[in-house]
């Protein structure tokens, strides 16, 4: 029996606020479906964070349904567990239920540890599914091998063994019971393989696209053959993932040379360029990079400036004068529809500084209602659906091409490619 193990597709995510990146996320998901069909797997096993949000955008539902229906029509069974992203915070239900009600998901685990038997001509496979919310009960599973040929565990959790300092990484491999043939994990966005003490591979295929720079660069799904007593695991690299080019700039001429060597490759998506800038003025490099965006060589760029960011602060234009004739207050309030946050954002526009950016982050942490309001406000209407498959998507409405200082300051510290 063949299984395609996929995780962290995050449908609806829009890294850096770019429509093109939202489209990348959908395309990576579609590629996993194409692989499942091409490889004629029996089970499409999704280890959580299927959607990016418990309130998915309409296009996320449409794409999810259209793609999963292809699996249904091919007789491929679909198992999905909820990650923290597709579990609602309170008083609501997971969007995954709709997919089950529409008949394109065969087994779902959201609020409980669920198990089910999947048969093909040669094997009985028992799948135990542990959603994110139940991860601390994982030790209590009693693995039954009675009448079953293979047992598979699917769970959404960060293993301690990954080694990233996180309160979330609170389950260790030794807490997972013995007796599984294969352990399919999700949550960690980087391809990683562990081995359980009884020999079972414990695998994170990783996210299907890159959400943060530290999740760069190759992305995979795991292809698992359960025919033999010991499963054969291989990784299939996703081809649709947008390339990233990372350049460390220590002097202007080397930096220029490296940038000018970037070429548009036919049939490959335009890359994202990430610059680590040391002692070079931001403006010098930003000008070249934005020309590369305009001329269609690269999709997007980000500039990281060395920690002592005096140079960065001084490069921020003071907007208060230039925008005096605009009713900024009204614009910002209409955008965020939350008074406290609007005031902070206005302060930032008038006096951009790291301190105000940090205040904004702190404010968001303390005000879940503001976050909720922002989530439900986030609309991007550039998606268009035709009646045919793969309706055209307009990517011209790119928001915020350049890494703004707010974006940079709001970006959290690298955590080694977490969830």
Residues that bind Mn ion (CB under 5 A): 8, 49, 419
d(CA 393, CA 71): 23
DSSP 305-317: E-SSTHHHHHHSP
Closest CA to 213 of 163, 186, 248: 248
Closest CA to 333 of 341, 324, 325, 342: 342
- Find the shortest distance in angstroms from Cβ 219 to Mn ion: 12
- Find the shortest distance in angstroms from Cβ 80 to Mn ion: 13
Identify whether the C-beta of residue 161 lies closer than 8 Å to the C-beta of residue 194.
yes
Of 16 and 118, which has the nearer Cβ to Mn ion? Answer: 16
Of 181 and 209, which has the nearer Cβ to Mn ion? Answer: 209
Of 157 and 176, which has the nearer Cβ to Mn ion? Answer: 157
Burial 69-84 (b: 16+ CB within 10 A, else e): ebbbeeebbbbbbbbb
Q: Helix, strand, coil: what percent of the chain each, to 5?
A: 35, 20, 45
- Find the shortest distance in angstroms from Cβ 418 to Mn ion: 8
Of 221 and 345, which has the nearer Cβ to Mn ion? Answer: 221
Of 201 and 206, which has the nearer Cβ to Mn ion? Answer: 206
Of 77 and 156, which has the nearer Cβ to Mn ion? Answer: 156
- Find the shortest distance in angstroms from Cβ 132 to Mn ion: 10
Identify whether the C-beta of residue 248 lies closer than 8 Å to the C-beta of residue 213.
no
Q: What is the DSSP letter of 372?
A: H
Of 203 and 336, which has the nearer Cβ to Mn ion? Answer: 203
Q: Assign residue 392 a region: left if phi > 0, alpha if psi is -120 to 50, beta otherwise?
A: beta
d(CA 15, CA 182): 32
Closest residue to Mn ion, based on beta-carbon distance: 49
Identify whether the C-beta of residue 45 lies closer than 8 Å to the C-beta of residue 120.
no
CB burial class (10 A; 0-12, 13-18, 19+) of residue 244?
middle
Name the token pair of 333.
Answer: 């309030």
- Find the shortest distance in angstroms from Cβ 13 to Mn ion: 9
Can you name the residues that pair with 232 across neighbouring β-strands? 225
- Find the shortest distance in angstroms from Cβ 49 to Mn ion: 4
- Find the shortest distance in angstroms from Cβ 188 to Mn ion: 8
Of 189 and 270, which has the nearer Cβ to Mn ion? Answer: 189
**Torsion (CA) 194, 198, 199, 202 in degrees, nearest 10:** -30
Of 150 and 419, which has the nearer Cβ to Mn ion? Answer: 419
Q: Assign residue 132 a region: left if phi > 0, alpha if psi is -120 to 50, beta otherwise?
A: alpha
- Find the shortest distance in angstroms from Cβ 31 to Mn ion: 17
- Find the shortest distance in angstroms from Cβ 85 to Mn ion: 6
């Amino acid at each position: 029996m063949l299984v395609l193990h996929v995780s962290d597709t995050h449908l609806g995510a829009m890294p850096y606020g770019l429509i093109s990146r939202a489209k990348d996320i959908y395309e990576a998901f579609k590629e996993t479906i194409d692989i499942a069909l091409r490889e004629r797997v029996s089970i499409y096993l999704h280890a959580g964070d299927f959607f990016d949000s418990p309130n998915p955008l309409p296009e996320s539902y449409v794409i999810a349904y259209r793609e999963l229906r292809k699996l249904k029509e091919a007789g491929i069974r679909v198992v999905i567990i909820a990650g923290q992203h597709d579990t609602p915070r309170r008083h609501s239900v997971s969007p995954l239920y709709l997919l089950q009600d529409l008949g394109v998901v065969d087994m779902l685990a959201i609020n409980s540890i669920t198990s089910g038997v999947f048969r093909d001509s040669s094997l009985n496979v028992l799948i135990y599914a542990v959603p994110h919310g139940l991860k601390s009960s994982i030790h209590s599973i009693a693995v039954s091998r009675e009448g079953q040929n293979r047992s598979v565990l699917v769970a959404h959790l960060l293993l301690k063994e990954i080694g990233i300092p996180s309160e979330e990484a609170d389950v260790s491999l030794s807490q997972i019971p013995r007796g599984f043939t294969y352990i399919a994990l999700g949550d960690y966005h980087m391809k990683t393989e562990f081995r359980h003490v009884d020999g079972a591979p414990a695998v994170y295929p990783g996210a299907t696209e890159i959400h943060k720079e530290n999740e760069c660069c190759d992305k995979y799904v795991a292809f698992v053959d359960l025919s033999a007593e010991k499963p054969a695991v291989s990784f299939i690299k996703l081809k649709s993932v947008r390339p990233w080019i990372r350049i460390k700039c220590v002097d202007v001429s080397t930096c220029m040379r490296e940038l000018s060597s970037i070429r548009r490759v036919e049939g490959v998506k335009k890359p994202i360029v990430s610059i680590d800038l040391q002692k070079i003025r931001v403006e010098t490099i930003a000008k070249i990079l934005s020309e590369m965006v305009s001329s269609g060589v690269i999709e997007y760029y980000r500039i990281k400036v060395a920690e002592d960011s005096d140079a960065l602060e001084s490069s921020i234009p003071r907007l208060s004068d230039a925008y005096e004739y605009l009713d900024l207050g009204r614009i910002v309030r209409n955008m965020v529809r939350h008074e406290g946050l609007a005031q902070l954002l206005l302060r930032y526009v008038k006096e951009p500084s790291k301190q105000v950016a940090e205040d904004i982050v702190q404010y968001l942490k303390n005000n879940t209602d503001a976050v909720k309001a922002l989530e439900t406000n986030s609309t991007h209407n550039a998606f268009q659906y035709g009646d045919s498959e793969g309706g055209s998507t307009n990517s011209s409405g790119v928001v915020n091409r350049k890494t703004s200082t707010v974006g940079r300051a709001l970006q959290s510290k690298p955590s080694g490619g977490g969830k």
